[in-house]
Amino acid sequence: MASASRRLYIGVTGHLARRVQQHRRGEFKGFSKKYQMTRLVYAEATWDVQAAIRREKQLKGWMRAKKLELIESQNPEWRDLGIELLGSLRDPSLRSG
């Protein structure tokens, strides 16, 4: 997750869409709420929970420049991927047209 000023937050979740919504609503006290971590700019997926936790720890240990390089290799415009993710979950019966 990232703020509008590109401050970064790294975490693990079993349900990415729900977690993005929680960040957008400011449901978490502390760092992510204080710095308005509302934009999903990068994500990785795995079914292996232990691998996800290891990867989280690895990424958190990286210098900021390396994290930025990773994000920009996949999302150079820093698009909010949460818009696409959450948009795909909307009920199609609610769409007009």
Which helix (H) or strand (E) segment is 82 a member of? Answer: helix 81-87
Low pLDDT (below 70) residues in the chain: 88-97
Q: What is the pLDDT of residue 88?
A: 63
All residues at 6 or more sequence positions from 90 whose CB lies less than 8 Å from its CB, including other chains: none
**Each residue's pLDDT tens digit, 21-45:** 999 999 988 998 999 999 999 999 9
Q: What is the pLDDT of residue 64?
A: 98
24 located within any domain: yes
Report the mean per-residue pLDDT for the chain. Answer: 90
20 located within any domain: yes
Domain ranges, residue 71: 16-92
When divided into structural domains, the chain yields a total of 1
Q: What is the pTM of this model?
A: 0.85
